[in-house]
Amino acid sequence: MTIENAELAKISLNSYVTMKITFANMLADLCERVPGGDVDIVTAAIGLDKRIGQKYLTGALGYGGPCFPRDNLAFDYFARSVGTKAELAQTVDRLNRVLPEAVLARLGVTVAPGETVAVLGLGYKPQSHITEASQGLMLARVLARQGARVIAHDPLLEKFAANELNDDNIVLKSLNDCLQEASTVVIANPDPAYASLEASDFAITNGPVTVVDCWRMLAPKLSQHPKIVYSPIGRSRK
């Protein structure tokens, strides 16, 4: 193992994993457009093949953090530096960057000017205070640009993210305040704190509440509730 081979192995490994994540997210989009489509059923089936496996095959939001996005760009840069192309890495990076806005569009999430929208989960993964390339943070920024009053919660980010969020007019709140103030709630991160939520935790006494569940954690509790418009990623909208 030379230094060159070791570095190429490192960045290509992460690039391959992000490709797998992006493939699952593409399947989620397809399943939403097919009668009876369910990304969890599809990925569970193909994950049984030992050549593929279940890890990193959950159709939802994309990847973030300090490593995965960096190594995709590094893989692309290295390929160009030696006179070739890494077009697959380029495509994966592009698709991941536009995914938050694309998800809101395909789920039909629209906000009136000044409408309060809560985004739950701003770390790039559960139980992390790191917001670098976080899909939840990108979602919050997209909603703010669309004119929403965006409030947000993350179990570890009250102190770490306050300054960064204020630049985008995104205000950190307690979980209870987020749920009681928002007419639309986006669950962007599969943190255990959100898996335990019940229908009664949302502001349903004020009228219907839209819940965008990017990880389908609350489907058994919310999908049939008369005062909740439950909108999961990766399940048929036909």
Considering Cα of 58, then 32, then 136, then 203, what sign does the dihedral take?
negative
The CATH superfamily holding the domain 106-232 is NAD(P)-binding Rossmann-like Domain (3.40.50.720)
Mean pLDDT computed over 9-28: 96
Q: What positions carry a catalytic annotation?
A: 67
**Considering all CA atoms of the chain, what is the largest pairwise distance in Å, rounded to the nearest integer?**
64
159 CB burial (10 A radius; 0-12, 13-18, 19+): exposed
> What pTM, to 2 d.p., does this model score?
0.93
- Cα(58)–Cα(81) distance, rounded to whole angstroms? 33
> Model confidence over 83-101: pLDDT tens digits?
999 999 999 999 999 999 9
Domain 3-98 architecture:
3-Layer(aba) Sandwich (3.40)
Burial 106-117 (b: 16+ CB within 10 A, else e): ebebebeeebbb
> Model confidence over 36-87: pLDDT tens digits?
999 999 999 999 999 999 999 999 999 999 999 999 999 999 999 999 999 9
How high is the pLDDT of residue 55?
96
Domain ranges of the chain: 3-98, 106-232
Q: Is residue 110 left, alpha or beta, with left meaning phi > 0 and alpha meaning psi from -120 to 50? A: beta
What is the total residue count of the chain? 238
> Model confidence over 185-236: pLDDT tens digits?
999 999 999 999 999 999 998 889 999 999 999 999 999 999 999 999 999 9
